[in-house]
Amino acid sequence: MPNSLRSAEVADDPQLVDTPPAMEPNRTGKTRMNDNEQQAILTLSLMAAFADGAKDEAERAEIKRVADALAGEGTINLAALYQDVLLKRVSLASAANLFTTPEARQLAFAMAVCACNADGVQSAPEQAYLADLRRTLALDAERSTAYIRQADTFAAAPMAAASDQAVVHASTMSPDARLR
């Protein structure tokens, strides 16, 4: 399987994703997104995985990791989200409108990049999807492009070096390097 910065690593690293004040506390005292934001992130990640028209096992596994990382105590009906995306009952704009904070939009973009890179460096349709997603989420183009380049570097890295690079990347990324 190609190497990339995995969604769970992004979601768990406070330097990559700030915890916005609007997020809800859970039983452990940590904050979490509301159910609508979690579903929107998964919806956008599914759209990213299907952007190239291929059904890849690595992308399915990445979506499962995103769902597991987001679910925590909650329940996410992943099968229903798959149906909504495949049957086009949800649009990019409608999912993007569910976010209440800039941090949630940043996380959604990062998870979509992870889904696109799960099977290797992004294809042209995946790049087009991510560009459209960035515009819809109103993220800074320069920072988003830099993030995609970093993710592509991980996706193209040799297997042995990937985990070391992800750890170094996550531990050295400054708050200014995050998407805005």
C-alpha span between 148 and 112 (Å, rounded): 10
Which band of pLDDT confidence, cut at 50, 70 and 90, is reported for residue 163? very low
**Which whole-number Å values give the CA distances from 24 to 73, 110, 149, in the listed order?**
12, 21, 32
pLDDT in tens, 54-85: 878 989 999 999 888 887 656 788 899 999 99
Q: What are phi and psi of 125, to 5 degrees?
A: -65, -35
Q: Buried (b) or exposed (e) across 132-144, using 16+ Cβ within 10 A?
A: ebbebbebeeebb
**Domain 7-177, architecture per CATH:** Orthogonal Bundle (1.10)
pLDDT in tens, 110-141: 999 999 988 887 889 999 999 999 999 999 88
